[in-house]
Amino acid sequence: MKVYFSHGKESGPWGRKFTSLARVAKKHGFSVDSIDYTDTRDPELRVERLVELLKRADDDFVLLGSSMGGYVSLVASERVNAKGVFLLAPALFMPGYKAQSYRHKSPVEIVHGWSDDVVPPENSIKFAQQNDCSLHLISGDHRLNSSLAEVEALFAQFLVATTARVKAQAD
User: What global pTM score does this model have?
Assistant: 0.96
Which strands sit side by side in the sheet containing 85-88, from one edge to the other?
31-35, 2-6, 61-66, 85-88, 108-113, 134-138
Structural domains of the chain, count: 1
Give the model's pLDDT for residue 13.
Answer: 76
Domain of 58 in residue numbering reads as 2-170
Looking at residue 143, its pLDDT comes to 92
pLDDT tens-digit series, residues 29-71: 999 999 999 999 999 999 999 999 999 999 999 999 999 999 9
Judge residue 91's burial from the number of C-beta atoms within 10 Å of its C-beta, 0-12 exposed, 13-18 middle, 19 or more buried. Answer: buried
Domain with residue 67: its CATH number is: 3.40.50.1820
Using alpha carbons, list the distances in angstroms from residue 152 to 22, 55, 148, 159. 10, 28, 6, 11
pLDDT at 6 (0 to 100): 96
| pLDDT of 148 over the 80 cut | yes
Top pLDDT among 97 and 10 is at 97
User: What 8-state DSSP symbol labels residue 118?
Assistant: S
Burial label for 155, CB within 10 Å (0-12, 13-18, 19+), is buried
